[in-house]
Amino acid sequence: MPHTSEWTVRLHLFEDDAGTTKAHLTLDTGTTELTGHGAAHCHPADTNMPEIGDELAAGRAMNDLAGQLLQTAEHDIEGMGAPRPHGREVAGWPT
């Protein structure tokens, strides 16, 4: 039984008044919307490279979102009566 879907991802990067680069990453599956958050701070002794701050903040937001997505999947699997996986497995699939 083939399955195809399309999810939308929006990434918003901005720098606040304190010089912190922040990222908000939103995943819209059509039925669920999750938002990941990330931040990056430039050390005062380092050269200011906005692109690096963007990369760090975006990567951290993606990590946050990935964790939420895996938790959502585990919750949905448990809702179907499957036992909670052990160790680093998600529903019997090693990660």
Going by C-alpha positions, the residue among 4, 12, 60, 10 that lies closest to residue 33 is 10
- Residues 33-73 have pLDDT tens digits of 999 999 999 888 988 899 999 999 999 999 999 999 999 99
Domains of the chain: 8-83 (3.30.160.240)
The rounded distance, in Å, linking the Cα atoms of 37 and 68 is 11
DSSP 17-81: TTSEEEEEEEEE-SS-EEEEEEEEE--TTS---HHHHHHHHHHHHHHHHHHHHHHHHHHHHHHTT
> What is the gyration radius of the CA atoms in the chain, in angstroms?
17
- Residues 9-26 have pLDDT tens digits of 999 999 999 889 999 999
